[in-house]
């Protein structure tokens, strides 16, 4: 007797797969209520003997790993550090971290391990292998394993939660320091960026390379995957951004011959950008001279063909390139031209420098750290039409004495960012910066807040947990030029409660 298939199978419907407990747990870690104002205060200082280049943490931030110039990876317990009763800094530690006033707690070290250099022939044992500086880190959301990008171009895979520090595999593909790592959303693969100018996609199931993303050969300083909850709307953008004509695009691609403006040494813009309601409109400017073999600027028609699954790479010369991960082989095709790749517009007056770039939590904006205290905010919303292309939405300007912005990080509310300079770290509300008040006048006064803690060195990396509870900062020059405080700071993000609210 034949058994008839279920009705769902007869209709050709696929049964929806239920979420795993780990997926549900990670979703519950995200905090969605950011309507109240909050404060950021340093509560834990972790002195290091050498500069710290990289940070990574689990989704719950119970595991925090740091990668330093001495070739060691250290695993800290953030909750024990923040909630401990007797783990205050000693006098030598306070002097090392330059903490004079107030009480500050010390970090609770779980364990540490070495970042060895294993040759390709495998003759040397791990115990006899030399150490390599850790330039980048990435960690599994449940702290099962971690990746470390080394100074010599190797990428090591370690276990963290079980048998901490056990070297499982070495991935070879880069020839120079691995400056950045970014995990895929499914955490079965990752992307790496290096000083050799190449970005590589890796498969963690096999440990092999999937594809190469080569642009114009400049040192890559940052790589980031667009957040999974990026908004794609067919109703259009609420912003009023004028579309760019073909003639304007041609003018933007050609540098004006009569201008002697030097963006590397001049402090102020030769002609200030027009600003309408806080929106920087770069249409009247010509773009910076493009390097050879670099993808073209993303126009409206090319951007309309991109999928929401986008990868960002930033290079030290200031160029920011977007890659469509849906395209199997993005790059230059001799028959069809550039496919699945394009760069963001950069004015000729923009200093050729970018050490950090980040996506907003909703994937609608890109924040690029620039010279002379500037942070450029790009609007990259995809509206489902060919009328809009990625353009500079706002330019956030720190005080002139703050110096270059070495790092930028976005908060989970998609409104605030923290940008780090040599003097300190500033908290900006990007959504309100440059807007007018009720009387239609530009907002006056200081539009940022100082986050206490850091002072006197370059910030190499900042990270914020998905729940928006802690922010961690590290200090180093990442192999370039600059000073370091040799201290990792853990900041607590506290939501302000109204005075009339009842607490139970």
The closest alpha carbon to 175, from 149, 147, 154, 202, belongs to 154
Comparing 91-100, 143-152, 171-180, 410-419, the range with the smallest average pLDDT is 91-100
Q: Which residue has the higher pLDDT, 257 or 447?
A: 447
Q: Starting at the edge strand that comes first in sequence, how are the strands of the sheet with 134-139 ordered?
A: 134-139, 145-150, 155-159, 167-171
The 10s digit of each residue's pLDDT in 198-230 is 999 999 999 999 999 987 888 999 999 999 865
- CA 456 and chain centroid, separation: 22
pLDDT above 70 covers a percentage of the chain that reads: 75
- Say if residue 286's pLDDT is above 90: no
The closest alpha carbon to 167, from 224, 116, 237, 235, belongs to 116
- The overall average pLDDT reported for the chain is 81
Helix, strand and coil in the chain, % to nearest 5? 10, 35, 55
Contacts of 119 (CB under 8 A, 6+ apart): 129
For residues 327-348, average pLDDT:
76
39-236+244-255+263-495: CATH topology = Methylamine Dehydrogenase; Chain H (2.130.10)
Comparing 11-20, 66-75, 151-160, 255-264, the range with the smallest average pLDDT is 255-264
The reported pLDDT for the residue numbered 295 is 85
- HEC secondary structure over 317-336: CCCEEEEECCCCCCEEECCC
CA distance 291 to 90: 51
The reported pLDDT for the residue numbered 265 is 39
CA distance 32 to 436: 27
The 10s digit of each residue's pLDDT in 2-45 is 555 555 444 555 566 777 676 776 777 776 666 678 899 999 99
pTM of the model: 0.82
Q: Which residue has the higher pLDDT, 431 or 45?
A: 45
The 10s digit of each residue's pLDDT in 234-245 is 333 333 333 334
For residues 476-492, average pLDDT:
92
The 10s digit of each residue's pLDDT in 241-274 is 333 344 443 443 443 334 444 443 344 444 444 4
The reported pLDDT for the residue numbered 127 is 74
Comparing 79-88, 237-246, 305-314, 421-430, the range with the smallest average pLDDT is 237-246
Strand pairing of 167-171 and 279-280?
A: unpaired
Beta strands in 126-197 (DSSP E): 134-139, 145-150, 155-159, 167-171, 178-183, 189-194
The reported pLDDT for the residue numbered 274 is 43
Most confident of 172-186, 289-303, 319-333, 390-404: 172-186
Domain map (residue ranges) of the chain: 39-236+244-255+263-495
Q: Which residue has the higher pLDDT, 9 or 485?
A: 485
The reported pLDDT for the residue numbered 499 is 58
Q: Which residue has the higher pLDDT, 248 or 449?
A: 449
Q: For residue 204, what are its two tokens?
A: 């963690």
- Say if residue 52's pLDDT is above 50: yes
End-to-end CA distance of the chain: 64
The reported pLDDT for the residue numbered 339 is 76
Buried b (16+ CB within 10 A) or exposed e, 136-158: bbbbbbbbebbbbbbbbbbbbbb
The reported pLDDT for the residue numbered 391 is 87
């Amino acid at each position: 007797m034949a058994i008839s298939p279920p009705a769902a199978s007869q209709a050709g419907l696929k049964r929806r797969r239920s979420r795993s407990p780990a997926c549900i747990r990670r979703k519950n870690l995200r905090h969605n209520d950011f309507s109240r104002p909050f404060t950021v205060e340093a509560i834990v200082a972790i002195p290091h003997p050498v500069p710290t280049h990289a940070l990574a943490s689990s989704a719950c931030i119970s595991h925090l790993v740091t990668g330093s110039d001495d070739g060691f990876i250290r695993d800290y317990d953030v909750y024990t550090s923040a909630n401990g009763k007797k783990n205050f800094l000693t006098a030598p530690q306070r002097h090392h971290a330059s903490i004079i006033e107030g009480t500050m707690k010390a970090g609770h070290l779980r364990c540490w391990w070495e970042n060895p250099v294993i040759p390709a022939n495998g003759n040397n044992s791990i115990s006899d292998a030399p150490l390599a500086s850790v330039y980048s880190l990435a960690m599994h959301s449940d702290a099962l394993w971690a990746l470390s990008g080394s100074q010599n171009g190797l990428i090591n895979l370690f276990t963290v939660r079980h048998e901490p520090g056990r070297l499982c595999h070495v991935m070879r593909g880069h020839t120079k320091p691995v400056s950045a790592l970014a995990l895929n959303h499914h955490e079965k693969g990752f992307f790496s960026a290096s000083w050799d100018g190449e970005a590589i996609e890796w498969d963690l199931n096999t440990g092999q390379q999937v594809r190469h993303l080569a642009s114009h050969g400049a040192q890559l300083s940052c790589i980031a995957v667009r957040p999974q909850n990026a908004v794609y709307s067919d109703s259009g953008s609420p912003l009023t951004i004028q579309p760019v004509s073909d003639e304007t695009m041609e003018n933007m691609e050609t540098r004006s011959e009569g201008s002697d403006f030097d963006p590397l040494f001049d402090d102020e813009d030769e002609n200030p950008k027009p600003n309408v309601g806080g929106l920087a409109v770069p249409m009247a400017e010509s773009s910076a001279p493009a390097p050879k073999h670099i993808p073209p600027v993303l126009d409206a028609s090319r951007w309309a063909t991109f999928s929401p699954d986008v990868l960002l790479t930033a290079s030290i010369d200031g160029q920011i390139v977007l890659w469509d991960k849906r395209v199997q082989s993005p790059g230059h095709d001799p028959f069809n031209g550039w496919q699945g790749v394009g760069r963001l517009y950069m004015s000729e007056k923009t200093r050729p420098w970018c050490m950090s770039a980040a996506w907003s939590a909703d994937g609608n904006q890109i924040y690029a750290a620039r010279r002379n205290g500037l942070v450029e905010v790009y609007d990259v919303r995809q509206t489902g039409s060919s009328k809009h292309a990625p353009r500079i939405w706002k330019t956030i300007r720190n005080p002139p004495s703050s110096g270059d912005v070495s790092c930028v990080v976005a908060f989970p509310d998609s409104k605030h960012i923290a940008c780090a300079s040599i003097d300190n770290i500033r908290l900006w509300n990007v959504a309100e910066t440059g807007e007018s008040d009720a009387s239609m006048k530009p907002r006056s006064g200081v539009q940022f807040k100082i986050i206490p803690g850091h002072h006197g060195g370059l910030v190499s990396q900042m990270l914020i947990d998905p729940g928006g509870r802690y922010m961690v900062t590290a200090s180093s020059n990442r192999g370039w030029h600059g000073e370091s405080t040799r201290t990792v700071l853990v900041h607590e993000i506290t939501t302000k409660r109204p005075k009339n609210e009842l607490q139970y």
